Amino acid sequence: MKVTFPLHVIAGMVCISVLISLFHATLILVAEPGDDVTLWYQHEQTTPTYIFWFKHTDSSVPVYISCQYFRNNSASSHCSFVNQSKRTVMSVNSQYTSLTITAVNPTDSGLYYCGIRRGSQISFSNYQILITLRCLLHADGSVYWSDSCSHQCSSFHAEEEKTTQ
Protein backbone atom coordinates (compact mmCIF):
# COMPACT_ATOMS: atom_id res chain seq x y z
CA MET A 1 0.00 0.00 0.00
CA LYS A 2 1.29 3.47 -0.84
CA VAL A 3 0.57 6.61 1.19
CA THR A 4 0.63 9.89 -0.70
CA PHE A 5 0.31 13.53 0.22
CA PRO A 6 -3.01 15.34 -0.21
CA LEU A 7 -3.58 16.38 -3.82
CA HIS A 8 -3.84 20.10 -2.97
CA VAL A 9 -0.34 20.05 -1.44
CA ILE A 10 1.20 18.30 -4.45
CA ALA A 11 -0.80 20.41 -6.91
CA GLY A 12 0.45 23.59 -5.25
CA MET A 13 4.07 22.48 -5.51
CA VAL A 14 3.64 21.27 -9.09
CA CYS A 15 1.96 24.54 -9.98
CA ILE A 16 4.96 26.49 -8.71
CA SER A 17 7.41 24.26 -10.56
CA VAL A 18 5.42 24.54 -13.80
CA LEU A 19 5.35 28.33 -13.59
CA ILE A 20 9.05 28.59 -12.87
CA SER A 21 9.86 25.92 -15.45
CA LEU A 22 8.94 28.36 -18.17
CA PHE A 23 12.30 29.98 -17.46
CA HIS A 24 14.32 27.19 -15.83
CA ALA A 25 14.64 23.43 -15.81
CA THR A 26 13.01 21.78 -12.81
CA LEU A 27 14.30 18.45 -11.56
CA ILE A 28 12.09 16.36 -9.29
CA LEU A 29 13.54 14.43 -6.37
CA VAL A 30 11.20 12.09 -4.53
CA ALA A 31 12.35 11.16 -1.03
CA GLU A 32 10.88 9.32 1.91
CA PRO A 33 10.63 10.72 5.44
CA GLY A 34 13.90 10.11 7.23
CA ASP A 35 16.04 10.12 4.05
CA ASP A 36 19.17 12.23 3.79
CA VAL A 37 19.02 14.31 0.61
CA THR A 38 21.99 16.04 -1.03
CA LEU A 39 21.53 18.74 -3.68
CA TRP A 40 24.50 19.80 -5.84
CA TYR A 41 25.18 22.83 -8.00
CA GLN A 42 28.19 23.17 -10.31
CA HIS A 43 29.75 26.61 -10.75
CA GLU A 44 33.11 28.24 -11.49
CA GLN A 45 33.86 30.56 -8.59
CA THR A 46 37.26 32.21 -8.16
CA THR A 47 36.45 35.43 -6.31
CA PRO A 48 35.19 35.79 -2.73
CA THR A 49 31.39 35.93 -2.60
CA TYR A 50 28.24 34.77 -0.80
CA ILE A 51 26.65 31.54 -2.03
CA PHE A 52 23.05 30.82 -0.98
CA TRP A 53 20.56 27.96 -1.07
CA PHE A 54 16.90 29.05 -1.22
CA LYS A 55 13.65 27.19 -0.60
CA HIS A 56 10.32 28.24 -2.09
CA THR A 57 6.91 26.77 -1.28
CA ASP A 58 3.41 27.61 -2.42
CA SER A 59 2.75 29.29 0.94
CA SER A 60 5.84 31.50 1.20
CA VAL A 61 8.26 33.76 -0.56
CA PRO A 62 11.73 32.28 -1.20
CA VAL A 63 13.70 31.97 2.03
CA TYR A 64 17.39 31.43 2.72
CA ILE A 65 18.05 27.85 3.79
CA SER A 66 21.80 28.19 4.01
CA CYS A 67 24.59 30.60 3.11
CA GLN A 68 28.36 30.56 3.11
CA TYR A 69 30.93 33.19 2.30
CA PHE A 70 33.29 31.57 -0.20
CA ARG A 71 37.00 32.41 -0.28
CA ASN A 72 39.17 30.57 -2.77
CA ASN A 73 42.27 30.20 -0.60
CA SER A 74 40.72 29.72 2.82
CA ALA A 75 37.84 27.97 4.51
CA SER A 76 34.32 29.14 3.74
CA SER A 77 32.31 30.53 6.63
CA HIS A 78 28.61 30.46 7.45
CA CYS A 79 26.68 33.71 7.05
CA SER A 80 25.63 35.14 10.40
CA PHE A 81 22.44 36.63 8.89
CA VAL A 82 20.98 33.22 7.90
CA ASN A 83 19.38 31.10 10.60
CA GLN A 84 20.46 27.68 9.36
CA SER A 85 18.69 24.53 10.50
CA LYS A 86 20.74 21.94 12.38
CA ARG A 87 19.54 19.41 9.79
CA THR A 88 21.18 21.24 6.86
CA VAL A 89 24.85 21.09 5.95
CA MET A 90 26.24 23.27 3.18
CA SER A 91 29.63 22.67 1.54
CA VAL A 92 31.35 24.98 -0.94
CA ASN A 93 34.47 24.84 -3.09
CA SER A 94 35.52 26.61 -6.29
CA GLN A 95 33.55 24.20 -8.52
CA TYR A 96 30.58 22.92 -6.51
CA THR A 97 28.24 23.77 -3.71
CA SER A 98 26.08 21.18 -2.01
CA LEU A 99 23.26 21.23 0.49
CA THR A 100 22.51 18.12 2.54
CA ILE A 101 19.23 17.92 4.43
CA THR A 102 19.27 15.13 7.00
CA ALA A 103 16.17 13.20 8.03
CA VAL A 104 13.83 14.98 5.63
CA ASN A 105 10.23 15.42 6.70
CA PRO A 106 7.13 16.88 5.00
CA THR A 107 8.12 20.44 5.96
CA ASP A 108 11.19 20.06 3.73
CA SER A 109 9.05 19.67 0.60
CA GLY A 110 9.55 22.58 -1.75
CA LEU A 111 11.49 24.08 -4.61
CA TYR A 112 15.23 24.55 -3.95
CA TYR A 113 17.76 26.56 -5.92
CA CYS A 114 21.20 28.06 -5.55
CA GLY A 115 22.18 31.72 -5.82
CA ILE A 116 25.59 33.38 -6.05
CA ARG A 117 26.08 37.03 -5.18
CA ARG A 118 27.65 38.98 -8.02
CA GLY A 119 28.26 42.57 -6.92
CA SER A 120 24.96 43.89 -5.61
CA GLN A 121 22.85 41.21 -7.35
CA ILE A 122 22.29 37.48 -6.94
CA SER A 123 22.62 35.20 -9.97
CA PHE A 124 20.40 32.14 -9.65
CA SER A 125 21.08 28.63 -10.89
CA ASN A 126 19.46 27.79 -14.21
CA TYR A 127 17.57 24.89 -12.68
CA GLN A 128 15.67 24.10 -9.51
CA ILE A 129 15.10 20.91 -7.59
CA LEU A 130 11.61 20.09 -6.37
CA ILE A 131 11.72 17.83 -3.31
CA THR A 132 8.57 15.86 -2.62
CA LEU A 133 8.24 13.25 0.10
CA ARG A 134 6.45 9.94 0.17
CA CYS A 135 5.93 7.12 2.63
CA LEU A 136 5.65 3.46 1.72
CA LEU A 137 3.80 1.08 4.02
CA HIS A 138 4.18 -2.68 4.04
CA ALA A 139 1.07 -4.86 4.17
CA ASP A 140 1.81 -5.60 7.83
CA GLY A 141 1.60 -1.87 8.61
CA SER A 142 5.32 -1.26 9.09
CA VAL A 143 6.82 1.80 7.43
CA TYR A 144 9.52 1.41 4.79
CA TRP A 145 12.39 3.88 5.22
CA SER A 146 15.34 3.95 2.84
CA ASP A 147 18.86 4.82 3.99
CA SER A 148 19.54 7.88 1.87
CA CYS A 149 18.69 9.59 -1.35
CA SER A 150 21.16 11.73 -3.26
CA HIS A 151 20.67 13.72 -6.43
CA GLN A 152 23.57 15.25 -8.29
CA CYS A 153 23.23 17.46 -11.32
CA SER A 154 24.96 20.34 -12.97
CA SER A 155 23.88 23.17 -15.19
CA PHE A 156 25.20 21.61 -18.40
CA HIS A 157 23.06 18.46 -18.22
CA ALA A 158 20.04 19.71 -16.32
CA GLU A 159 18.02 19.95 -19.53
CA GLU A 160 18.53 16.24 -20.24
CA GLU A 161 17.53 14.97 -16.80
CA LYS A 162 14.03 16.16 -15.99
CA THR A 163 13.04 13.58 -13.38
CA THR A 164 15.08 11.66 -10.83
CA GLN A 165 13.78 9.33 -8.18
CB–CB of 90/53 below 8 Å?
yes
Is 8 within a domain? yes
Q: Domain for residue 90, yes or no? A: yes
CATH code, domain with 15: 2.60.40.10
Does residue 164 belong to any structural domain of this protein? Answer: no
Is 165 within the bounds of a domain?
no
Please give the radius of gyration of the chain, using alpha carbons only, rounded to the nearest integer.
16
Q: What's the pLDDT tens digit per position in 93-105?
A: 888 999 999 998 8
Residue 162 lies in a domain: no
Range of the domain at 21: 2-155
Residue 160 lies in a domain: no
Backbone angles phi, psi at 103, to 5 degrees: 45, 60
Q: What is the pLDDT of residues 109-160, one digit of tens each?
A: 888 999 999 888 888 887 777 777 765 555 665 555 443 333 332 322 333 3
What total number of domains does the chain contain? 1
Residue 58 falls within a domain, yes or no? yes
Are the C-beta atoms of 48 and 71 separated by less than 8 Å? Answer: yes
Query: Is 104 domain-assigned?
Result: yes
